Amino acid sequence: MKEHPGWRKACLSVITASVLLAGLVTAPAASATVPVAPVTVTALEAAGDPAITGTIAAESTVAIGLGRFGGESRITVDWLLDGVLQADGMLVDGMSHEYQIPASAVGKTLSAYVVVVTAEDEVLEFNLSGGTVAHGTFTATPVPTISGTAVVDGKLTARPGTWSPDGATFSYRWLRDGVSIAGATKSTYSPVSADRGQPISVTVTASRTGYTPVTQTSAATKIAAGTIRPSRSMKVTGSARYGSTLKVSTGWPSGAKATYQWYRGSSRIKGATKSSYKLASQDVGNYLTVKATVTKPGYAAYRDSAKSAKVGKAVLSVKSAPSISGTKKAGSTLTVSRGSYSVRPSSYSYSWYRGTKRIAGATRSSYRLTSADVGKKITAKVTVKRANYGTRTVASAAVSIPRPPRTVISRDGTYRVGSDIKPGLYKSTGGDLCYWARLSGFSGSFEDINSNHLASGSTYVRILPGDRGFETNRCGSWKTVSSSGANASRITRDGTYRVGVDIQPGTYIGRGSGDSCYWAILNDFTGDLGDLEENYFGSARTVVEIPPGAAGFEVSRCGTLVRD
């Protein structure tokens, strides 16, 4: 935009006026033209001079009223704000030049510079003042409305309506009984507990550049109590047994306060007003119900209830099971311990079992073994009782009653397998240079020997079903074996031992003298070379590690071996 000079010569040549109308140059200096008498605008106005028409306000449209000029007059118009050119144009044949005042013009002075060239080529100039530009005004200012749920913790939304002209921006202020609510300046508002029963309204202020802001207030809406909504259903948790504690499980909202009352059947339990309740003896056999009343400021009271399972007797938990002790052979007495429990029982009773069958009359904590128990597994059961607790019967681990060793060969000789001696594992009473052989025939030929062994002291042999005969010499008697033994940690005599029965596995140390110590670790007692896992021959000062998985250990001339 250009600064207008603020003056024009009142009288110009026709040529100069034509140039001005074409908009090519500005008015020349007075010395370049023939002087003419100036036109007095005031005098001309009386005869219908040009004038600014319309409302002088932001975004209003104003125009030039031509007055007495028209027809063949040629007219140019410059619009100015505070003397600065904003728009220009030419009016021909009575046209009216309009100008829309921008919103930014508020407070500025509107003027127009008009040049008229009459049909006689007379040039006239007019400086027209429109005055100070005022603020625009909204033509439609509706009262806002409120939508949404008018309850505590609900959501309200302000609806400003349709304002004209459009393009307005809105600000909001929510009121409680006509008083502003701190921080409530958005188009939405969630009522709080203080709003319950109060009238809530919203003030909407419309603003637009160049316009006077307008404020409208909605009708008030009354806020109702909110609804307490737990995050999960109320229920009773815990074991419904005497001595246990039941608890209320639920999800009350933050800020809520709950009170409780427990009922036995339909009867109120005195003093049971907490969220948990420890079951008493009188509860056994009944159903329990808990009722809850939940309150929160601004909300309606919420009530709920939940029922437990039928209350049963408590369970006696086992801390350690009963166990059997005593010598495991006929004629000896076994004793079973009571075991230990979560609470001390008031009574104990006993029963003994041979295999899965109850032994008649065996109802004490001790039991004397008979010949009928040999080769069987014996178990004891302890039944414990206590008031308000369920009866509990707990079984001990079973113990095996081994058959006592039985002599099957009492002197040297050759025996037929199947008729004189059965296949199986046997142990000799021992002797110096004990010799035995498993035979496939009786021709006396070397080929009749399946396997053989020469040992010192007590030894073992496993006779296989495929053997036809068994020969023994200087070995003493042969007996069946027991499933139990000394399980010793010291080896003091030459011989063959079962690992885990006669001796314990582990590392043994020998500190004897001599250089003819022999030992062997065995995986069986058939006498086959495949039985041999490891062996040693040398100094009696030796160390041997007998693994748990070994079947046997043979030793000769090593002195005493002691488990480390």
Give 198-233 pLDDT, tens digit per residue. Answer: 999 999 999 999 999 999 999 999 999 999 999 999
- Assigned CATH for 145-226: 2.60.40.2700
d(Cα 213, Cα 168) in Å, to the nearest integer?
9
pLDDT of residue 72: 73
Is the distance from CB of 242 to CB of 313 less than 8 angstroms? yes
CATH C-level class of 235-307: mainly beta
Give the E-state strand segments of 60-106 in sequence order.
Answer: 61-65, 74-81, 84-92, 98-100
pLDDT of residue 92: 52
CATH C-level class of 14-132: mainly beta
547 half-sphere exposure, CB direction, 13 A CA radius: 7
pLDDT of residue 73: 79
Is the distance from CB of 13 to CB of 96 less than 8 angstroms? no
Res. 9: pLDDT tops 60: no
pLDDT of residue 71: 65
Give 116-170 pLDDT, tens digit per residue. Answer: 998 888 999 999 999 999 999 999 999 999 999 999 999 999 999 999 999 999 9
- Assigned CATH for 318-400: 2.60.40.2700
d(Cα 459, Cα 436) in Å, to the nearest integer?
10
Res. 33: pLDDT tops 50: no
- Residue 88 — very low, low, confident or very high, per pLDDT cuts 50/70/90? confident
d(Cα 144, Cα 216) in Å, to the nearest integer?
7
Q: What is the mean pLDDT of residues 554-562?
A: 96
Give 533-543 pLDDT, tens digit per residue. Answer: 999 999 999 99
Give 239-295 pLDDT, tens digit per residue. Answer: 999 999 999 999 999 999 999 999 999 999 999 999 999 999 999 999 999 999 999
